[in-house]
Amino acid sequence: MISAENRNLDARRASSLRASRKLAVFIFIGGFIASLGGLMLRAPDSSGSAMAGTATTGTATAVPPAFTSLFGQEVRLDGEGLYRRDSVSFAAQERAQDLVTLIFALPLIAAGFLFARRGSFGGRLLFSGGLGYFLYCYGMMSIGTTYNEFFLLYVALFAAALYGFILSIYAIDADGLALACGDRYPRRSAISLCIAVGLFLGLNWLGRIVLPSLLTGRPPAGIDGGSTLFVQAFDLGILVPAAALSA
């Protein structure tokens, strides 16, 4: 017989899942707009470079400007589209991330949404994983992308993904999941994957920071026009510990 406490817990989980699904609808629509805008939008002027500070003469447009970073490095701006004020390197990474979001992340969260609605444990894990991607992606874009017209959309997506992720994790019945998996779950493979991901990210980023920066005083590779290593902060502060704890 199911106790009143268990019924209340199940009701709270169901309520959390419904709330996370509502947030996921906003995330899907907002993520589609943000990623498509990053790939397709151009600046209000014809070239997209005037707002980035590029000089124009008649019909000819000058090369996008360069500036000297806080670390004394010359950094050239992209000068095109939504990421016109970002460096060429950062803008390329942001557009690549937008492409991944359109092709993989949006279908992933849509599939997780549908399967989770049917009560599938696999669907709920897929759904939470999709929300985790958007949390990571738009958390970084909120603080790392140079200010543009979509800034408030990035912040809204970050907030929605954060609370949606928390609610979706709470909605998972851990005991039921363990029973559903049983001995079929490839624990060793999952542990090996988590360890490999944690070691790869940790050693890769620490190798780029400790040797060139802390030991020689040179700016670390990849800082480009930024003031700090926000990607590495997210990876070393969130992903590496999460991989280690999961293993």
- The residue extents of the domains of the chain are 1-52+64-177, 185-247
Mean pLDDT of 95-105: 97
Mean pLDDT of 130-143: 96
Residue 15 in this model has a pLDDT that exceeds 70: yes
What span, in angstroms and rounded, lies between the C-alpha atoms of 207 and 235? Answer: 14
Q: For residue 227, what pLDDT band results from cuts at 50, 70 and 90?
A: confident
What span, in angstroms and rounded, lies between the C-alpha atoms of 141 and 86? Answer: 12
Residue 60 in this model has a pLDDT that exceeds 70: no
Q: For residue 50, what pLDDT band results from cuts at 50, 70 and 90?
A: very low
3-class state of residue 73 by DSSP:
coil
pLDDT on residue 73? 82
Q: For residue 129, what pLDDT band results from cuts at 50, 70 and 90?
A: very high
Mean pLDDT of 115-140: 92
88, 74 contact by CB (below 8 A): no
Mean pLDDT of 70-79: 86
Mean pLDDT of 105-133: 92
Does an H or E element contain 77, and which?
none
Residue 141 in this model has a pLDDT that exceeds 90: yes
Does residue 57 or residue 166 have the better pLDDT?
166
pLDDT on residue 26? 97
Query: What is the chain's mean pLDDT, rounded?
Result: 86
Contacts 24+ apart (CB under 8 A), 188-196: 190/246, 191/247, 194/243, 194/244, 194/246, 194/247, 195/243, 195/244, 195/247
What span, in angstroms and rounded, lies between the C-alpha atoms of 135 and 133? Answer: 5
101, 31 contact by CB (below 8 A): yes
